[in-house]
Amino acid sequence: MSRIAARFEKLRAEGRKAFVSYVMAGDPDHATSLEILKGLPRAGVDIVELGVPFTDPMADGPTIQAAGQRALAGGQTLERTLAMVRAFREGDAETPLVLMGYYNPIYSRGVARFLEDAATAGVDGLIVVDLPPEEDDELCLPALAAGIDFIRLATPTTDDRRLPKVLENTSGFVYYVSITGITGAAEAQAEVVGPEVARIKARTDLPVLVGFGIRSPQSAEAIAGVADGCVVGSAIVSEIAAGKPVAEVLDYVRGLAEGAHRA
């Protein structure tokens, strides 16, 4: 059983929803980023999403774009991101870790080499936002063959004709984007999200998590209440961008996690 499947099984047994946090690798610098990464599970994070900085992050809003630019300016690379995963795994063999980013750095490294290195480092899943299902031969199917889950995004514009294609080779969980647009653009509304989550769950046995537009423990609780859990990214990255100490960032994450776990 994969770490992701094992984590959801554990959460179901405990009657809890999942809380997933996103941080950008190398932001605000490599050492601080690694310290935050290692602290996330102790702050209540069930699954970690680690962003891979890229020069043209078309799906990201200003907050995460700026985080990627800070990371790149500090020398963060795909290789250093994989090194962070290895360092994380030295002290944590259980928390699932998902890399989120774009295809270009993976393609530049070479898919076979990347998947071998990612699996060895301890990566459990991939979210690659610019590879549609029509391109599954490029990375999705090789990743599944390598034992790495390929997590797909569904959005408010993913209609009933498109949804089966999106779900076809998805594994781990489905990431439902609660709003149309870029990250950090609006606030998620549970009454709008709930019916969409139900529509997706009618087509798959995978957990459905909701991300985008969650900034407070109350919002995390409300959104997790209509899904299998929630994902918070931009709000956490904003705390890091404000220069807050690691302990304060993790306290903020802890509050969000407690909100999701109350659902």
Residues 140 and 151: their CA atoms lie apart, in Å, by: 9
Active-site choice (27, 49, 196, 228): 49
pLDDT digits (tens, 9 = 90+) for 122-166: 999 999 999 999 999 999 999 999 999 999 999 999 999 999 999
Q: Which residues have CB under 8 Å from 202's CB, separation 6+?
A: none
Model pLDDT, residue 186: 59
Query: Is residue 49 annotated as a catalytic residue, yes or no?
Result: yes
Domains and CATH numbers, the chain: 3-258 (3.20.20.70)
d(CA 179, CA 215): 14
**Which structure tokens are listed for 263?**
């659902």
Strands, DSSP E only, in 96-228?
97-101, 125-128, 149-150, 153-154, 174-177, 208-211
Beta bridge partner(s), residue 127: 100
- Amino acid letter, 249: V
Q: What is the pLDDT of residue 184?
A: 47
Q: Would you write out the chain's pLDDT as a tens digit for each of its 263 residues? A: 899 999 999 999 999 999 999 999 999 999 999 999 999 999 999 999 999 999 998 878 899 999 999 999 999 999 999 999 999 999 999 999 999 999 999 999 999 999 999 999 999 999 999 999 999 999 999 999 999 999 999 999 999 999 999 999 999 999 999 875 545 445 778 899 999 999 999 999 999 999 998 999 999 999 999 999 999 999 999 999 999 999 999 999 999 999 999 99
pLDDT of residue 171: 98
First to last CA, the chain: 26
- Please give the model's pTM, rounded to 2 decimal places: 0.96
- Which of 60, 149, 196, 228 is flagged as catalytic? 60
Calculate the average pLDDT of the chain.
95
